[in-house]
Amino acid sequence: MSSNQTATPSPIPPSPPSPGGTPFEPKTSPLGRFFRGLLRWLTGIAVVFCLGVLAMWYVRVRPQGEQISQMQAQIATLQKEISAPQPQVEILQSLVDVSKAQVALAQGGQDEARQALGGTDARLVKLEAELPPDQSKTLQDARSRLSLVLSELGSDNLAPRNDLEVLASLLASLQVPTPPAS
């Protein structure tokens, strides 16, 4: 060999052909082919199932999450409205107190009537801040009538009964402004 010539590697002889005439393929049993097909089907089913879960998430769950957040905001607003002073409730509770006192007087129980009217003045004081100014005179008349009833309870039953009727009519005449609908 001369220095100009380089040695070329000899080519690798091709692998001998397999008995079937094609390159080497592992033999598969019928059970192996069955499981390979089963695996393909199960993979396809799993992919379709995952796509269904994703579709369900975007179609049902995600919009419901938005609805839930809107409803929570509404709940917070309504809880604020509920916790706000409600003059109509105070008026009705005062009327209930007056009615209890009237029943107690009809049964001859002046102490029970005094107990029934025990928290009424505090309710009327609370109402002063909540009612419009044009009704303050009616509310002051109701408070003075209440103090008159409480002072008369030790004497006869006729004067407190009449004053309780006047007090009930004064309370019934109080008008609560309705809040604007939202």
Average pLDDT of span 130-140: 80
Contacts 24+ apart (CB under 8 A), 138-147: 138/170, 138/173, 138/174, 139/174, 141/170, 142/94, 142/167, 142/170, 142/171, 142/174, 145/170, 146/117, 146/120, 146/121, 147/121
Q: Residue 91 — φ and ψ, nearest 5°?
A: -65, -45
* Residues sharing a CB contact under 8 Å with residue 129, sequence separation 6 or more, in sequence order: 85
Q: Please say whether the beta carbons of 106 and 155 come within 8 A.
A: no
Question: Mean pLDDT for the chain?
Answer: 80
Architecture category of domain 87-173 in CATH: Up-down Bundle (1.20)
pLDDT at position 160, please? 81
The predicted-structure confidence for 93-117, as pLDDT tens digits, reads as follows 888 888 888 888 888 888 888 888 8
pLDDT exceeds cutoff 90 at 38: yes
Q: Please say whether the beta carbons of 80 and 139 come within 8 A.
A: no
How many whole angstroms separate alpha carbon 105 and alpha carbon 99? 10
Model pTM score: 0.52
The predicted-structure confidence for 86-96, as pLDDT tens digits, reads as follows 777 888 888 88
Q: Domain boundaries in the chain?
A: 32-84, 87-173
